[in-house]
Amino acid sequence: MVADRGAGPDSLLNIGEVLTRLEAEFPDATVSKIRFLESRGLLTPGRSPSGYRQFVEADVTRLIWILRQQRDHFLPLKVIGGLLAEGRDLVEEGDRSGQPLRKEARVRDLGSVSMSREELAMAGGLEVETVDELERLGLLEGQEIGTSVVYDGDAVLVARVAARFAEHGFDVRHLRMYLVAAQREAGIIEQVLRPMLREGDGRSQAEVRQLVDELSDAGAALHDLLLRRSLGPFG
């Protein structure tokens, strides 16, 4: 949906005024982020005769909606663009059928999405250099497609978690302990479950995957309990 440009001159905002409007809810928003969204075709501000961007109220509403989808629903720009094309920015929490936007978007696109390093950084609220560091530490894995490296929906979740830790003063290097613990846990579970897939055992891969899910949930619950106990008064 393209913003209505019929508003009078008193209703026009420059990019600095738009940032002021965003400041309370999105303190990390920058001029470069708005320009990037425009370059991706998600925003279409008007231009003054001298070439400066001019935003109307509909532009600001659309921008806020985009930023909320990134922050609250971890949606990459490719998915957001598709939802905008459907006019989904007109509804904040759900569609006419009552289905939550987050659930629909995840089921339809997030699991198979691919995005660039820059898009991942924006979706996760991180600097590109931090994304590089997460990948170097093994917490992120990009996939080479031709001459490009792309990232999936799992990478978005890792980036968002890393950003949450960073907000509280943690260095991304601290997150490697979760990777090491997960790898050790996976090794033990695989060692126990592998015989179940051997010929003659009678268990299908689907059954083993279901058992993995159950063990994963149980392990997460145990980890949470032990962590809180270890934290003592902080837990």
Encode pLDDT of 104-143 as tens digits: 343 334 445 678 899 889 888 899 999 999 999 999 998 8
Q: Calculate mean pLDDT across residues 17-29.
A: 92
The set of residues, in sequence order, having a beta carbon less than 8 Å from that of 122 and lying 6+ positions away, is 33, 36, 70, 77
- Predicted pLDDT of residue 3: 56
pLDDT in tens, 64-81: 999 988 888 777 777 788
Rounded to the nearest 10 degrees, the angle between the axes of helix 101-108 and helix 77-85 is 120
The CATH 1.10.1660.10 domain(s) of the chain lie at: 1-111, 114-170
Q: Can you list the alpha helix ranges (DSSP code H) found in the chain?
A: 15-22, 31-39, 57-73, 77-85, 101-108, 117-124, 128-136, 153-167, 176-193, 205-231
**CATH architecture of the domain formed by 1-111:** Orthogonal Bundle (1.10)
**pLDDT tops 80 at residue 177:** yes
- Residue closest to 55 by CA, chosen among 45, 63, 65, 47: 45
Tell me the sheet residues that pair with 115: 151
pLDDT value, residue 203 = 64
Helix (H) or strand (E) holding 15: helix 15-22
CATH of 114-170, one of 3.40.50.720, 1.10.3300.10, 1.10.1660.10, 2.60.130.10: 1.10.1660.10
Cβ neighbors of 58 (< 8 A, separation 6 or more) are: 3, 4
Task: Give me the mean pLDDT over the 29-41 stretch.
Answer: 89
163 vs 73, which has greater pLDDT? 163
Q: Say what the pLDDT of residue 18 is.
A: 96
* HSE-up (13 A, CA, CB side) for residue 139: 22
Average pLDDT, the chain: 81
- What percentage of the chain exceeds 90 in pLDDT? 36
What is the reported pLDDT for 200? 52
Segment of 95-99, 125-129, 224-228, 230-234 carrying the highest mean pLDDT: 125-129
59/158 Cα distance (integer angstroms): 30
Q: Which residue has the higher pLDDT, 30 or 91?
A: 30
Could you tell me the pTM of the whole model?
0.56
